[in-house]
Structure 1
Amino acid sequence: MIREISPADRAEELAAVLPVARAVLGEQMPGFPALAASTLRLWCLPDFHGGVRVFGAFRDADARVADGVAIAEWTDDANEDLLAASVWVAPTGRGRGLGSALFAEVLAVRAELDRPRVVVNGASTVPVDALVTAHGGRGVELVTRSVLDLAGVSRARLTATAAATEQNSGYRLARWTDHCPDELADSFCVAMAAMADAPQGELVYEHAAHDRERLRGRERLSVRAGVARHVLAAVTATGEVAGFTIFASTPDGPESLDIWDTGVARGHRGHGLGIRLKAAQTLWMLDGFPAARWVQTFNNADNAHMLGINRSLGYRAAEEWTWYEFETVATPPG
């Protein structure tokens, strides 16, 4: 049976779908630490000016652990034709049509919201291309997940890379957790527009403009989920944020860290800020998170510049992920 659930608000429902998410992501990202419950809770919370609906597949009305889960999310002030979804079925629940039933719920949300495009993703470690193509999906973006083993990095090399050079000595590094200082908030919002310049293949995706209200809303959302948001920024002498890198940590998953976004504003590119920020970020991870062993980050496969920075810092390619788009889908995939 399929029923709508609220894992972000109900601890028993979060516990019911966490094993599914861990099992599927464990297949997709073999060898990486298990998904933290607080991270899944964040995924089930509505983003600023958006919404989320979650559906669980259960063997019967008395089942306390789900066999599958679907998460459908959307934003109201950008990408008004798009619904993003994740559909996961545990290995023990496969072969019973649960993927089809869960995706049917996603399509019902799509119809209700009148959003012609649905996007889902899959990792190269679990072949899905034939299945997706058979049901009208097409690959629109290829993304590389890169992993860093913190036990193997050279602190001396990181320290040298994080040091100011002649090109970027006019920038100081500032950092904060959860709450951006008020004096940097507006400039930080402007700098985050740099993410719109990153390659995204054939995926048509609009990056909503950031402002202080959106920033504070997302900060509160992370705190509510129990996910700490750590930001390192390059700041000019006049207080302008020129570049930034963001990573997340969770108390219930201390062995791994996730890099969310890294960007340098257009007017400040070409000064080596990207690699300086990423090296300084890694030193912060080493000093501030002694239990952490692994770091992961996702980049478009065509983003040669950022992939090159990551490789120079010791990141290795793990697997590739494909974003698949379905337009006005009538038949669910799987």
Structure 2
Amino acid sequence: MNIEIRELDPAHPETLPMLLPVFQAAVTADAPTHAPPTAAFLAWNAAPRSTRHRACVTAFDGDRPVGFGCLNHEHDTNRDLVYGDLWILPEYRDRVTVPLLDAFKAHTRGRGGTRLVNGFSEFSAVDYEPAFIAGGGRKVAEERRSRLDLTKIDHDQYAAWAAPSEKNAHYRIQTWQTPTPEELLAPLVTANEAMRDAPTGDLDFQLPPPDVERRRRSEAEHLAINMRMYIIAALTADGAIAGFHEMFVFPDSPMASVGNTGVAAAYRGHGLGLRLKTELALALLEAEPHLESVSTWNSSDNGPMLRVNEAMGYIK
């Protein structure tokens, strides 16, 4: 066996189709409750983005890819940081993890970075964590992946949660599919500032400054890979967005993925998180009947959001 490491451009038409079988096999091993990952789901995770440089650092056994990580380097923020994922065929992990991690480090140095962050599942920690620790790494954050079975939700309970309450009846609820209407773009960008409060463990990660044009480009890139994005928001009388919730739908997958969910500090305690999340779930069951489940990631330190998810029926 001769392992060779190559850097692949995700914009090249052959790159993502070549990596898809590795991605599918690794996700099946590392996330047992995850729906089989599709081409659209891989594109969401690895396709080029205007806001960052992306490269898929890949290990080959001959002509066969056996492991990879798609690494990100932001153009405007966190210039010292390169971050990404790690997917290796289970039977190759004992031979490929260290050389692939060394290649990630070399890529980071080549980009002028001084920090490398890689995420992997708790189910693969036994395979990967020793190599990271031996290489000088440490755990900086822990996230919980949760899954909601849409076929088993209590529709009446969801409808009750989604109904106006004494605390939140004064908000106007609006749902749309991207591209976001022009009159809502600036309020949505402002509302996303609530994400600055989201816990990140010991990881120093800075969000970019608010930028309407950046948001417009991001939504266009999602549409370009045939991904549908749904947003629900609670608006105040003066047109500000008090809270919002996003969901990504892939036409070739029965599993949707949660995007950002945020409520500005001034509007917290009004039950908006639960109301928005349950109302959008019910709406998606009507708009996207092929959906069977929803996947979400949350910091293990984000108690309020984890409690909302657990009430809704999300499980690890």
Assess same fold via TM > 0.5.
yes
Q: 1:3 aligns with which of 6, 9, 20?
A: 6
Shift of 1:129: 3.0
Give the secondary-structure state (helix, strand or coil) at the position aligned to 1:233. Answer: strand
| 2:33 and 2:147 in contact (8 A); partners too | no
1:27 aligned residue: 29
Q: 2:99 aligns with which of 101, 124, 137?
A: 101
| 1:70 and 1:103 in contact (8 A); partners too | no
Cα distance in 2 for residues equivalent to 1:80 and 1:210: 17
2:268 aligned residue: 269
Cα distance in 2 for residues equivalent to 1:100 and 1:182: 48
2:231 aligned residue: 231
Shift of 1:224: 1.6
Cα distance in 2 for residues equivalent to 1:217 and 1:199: 26
Runs of 4+ in 1 over 4 A off after TM superposition: none
Please give the residue correspondences for 1:70-81 in structure 2 after superposition, counting only pairs within 5 Å.
70-81=69-80
Number of equivalences: 311
Please give the residue correspondences for 1:45-84 in structure 2 after superposition, counting only pairs within 5 Å.
45-60=47-62, 63=63, 65-84=64-83
Q: Give CA deviations for 1:255-284 in whole Å, capped at 9, x if unaligned.
A: 101001100011111111111101111111
Cα distance in 2 for residues equivalent to 1:202 and 1:135: 19
Cα distance in 2 for residues equivalent to 1:135 and 1:192: 36
Residue type matched to 2:216 in 1? Answer: R
| 1:243 and 1:273 in contact (8 A); partners too | yes
Shift of 1:305: 0.5
Cα distance in 2 for residues equivalent to 1:8 and 1:172: 41
Give the secondary-structure state (helix, strand or coil) at the position aligned to 1:245. Answer: strand
Cα distance in 1 for residues equivalent to 2:308 and 2:8: 41
| 1:233 and 1:245 in contact (8 A); partners too | yes
Q: Give CA deviations for 1:106-130 in whole Å, capped at 9, x if unaligned.
A: 2222112211110011221122333
Q: 1:123 aligns with which of 121, 124, 128?
A: 121
Give the secondary-structure state (helix, strand or coil) at the position aligned to 1:276. Answer: helix
2:155 aligned residue: 155
1:200 aligned residue: 200
Residue type matched to 1:2 in 2? Answer: I
| Structure-1-length-normalised TM-score | 0.89
Cα distance in 2 for residues equivalent to 1:37 and 1:8: 14
1:210 aligned residue: 210
| Unmatched 5+ stretches in structure 1 | 319-334
Root-mean-square deviation over aligned CA pairs: 1.5
Question: Which is helix-richer, 1 or 2?
Answer: 2
| 1:233 and 1:242 in contact (8 A); partners too | yes
Cα distance in 1 for residues equivalent to 2:314 and 2:226: 27
1:330 aligned residue: none
Residue type matched to 2:268 in 1? Answer: R
| Unmatched 5+ stretches in structure 2 | none
Cα distance in 2 for residues equivalent to 1:189 and 1:256: 26
Q: Which deviates further from its counterpart, 182-191 or 85-94?
A: 85-94
Q: Which deviates further from its counterpart, 109-118 or 83-92?
A: 83-92
Cα distance in 2 for residues equivalent to 1:301 and 1:290: 31
Cα distance in 2 for residues equivalent to 1:178 and 1:196: 23
2:189 aligned residue: 189
Corresponding position: 1:146 with 2:146: yes
1:310 aligned residue: 309
Q: Give CA deviations for 1:80-130 in whole Å, capped at 9, x if unaligned.
A: 1110022322124344x3333332332222112211110011221122333
Residue type matched to 1:53 in 2? Answer: A
Give the secondary-structure state (helix, strand or coil) at the position aligned to 2:183. Answer: helix
Cα distance in 2 for residues equivalent to 1:198 and 1:238: 26
Shift of 1:39: 2.0
1:247 aligned residue: 247
Cα distance in 2 for residues equivalent to 1:264 and 1:29: 29
Give the secondary-structure state (helix, strand or coil) at the position aligned to 1:125. Answer: helix
Cα distance in 2 for residues equivalent to 1:231 and 1:40: 21
Cα distance in 2 for residues equivalent to 1:55 and 1:199: 28
2:298 aligned residue: 299
Task: Considering Cα pairs closer than 8 Å and 6+ residues apart, tell me whether 1 or 2 has the greater RCO.
Answer: 1
| 1:48 and 1:75 in contact (8 A); partners too | no
**Percent of pairs with identical residues:** 32
1:172 aligned residue: 172
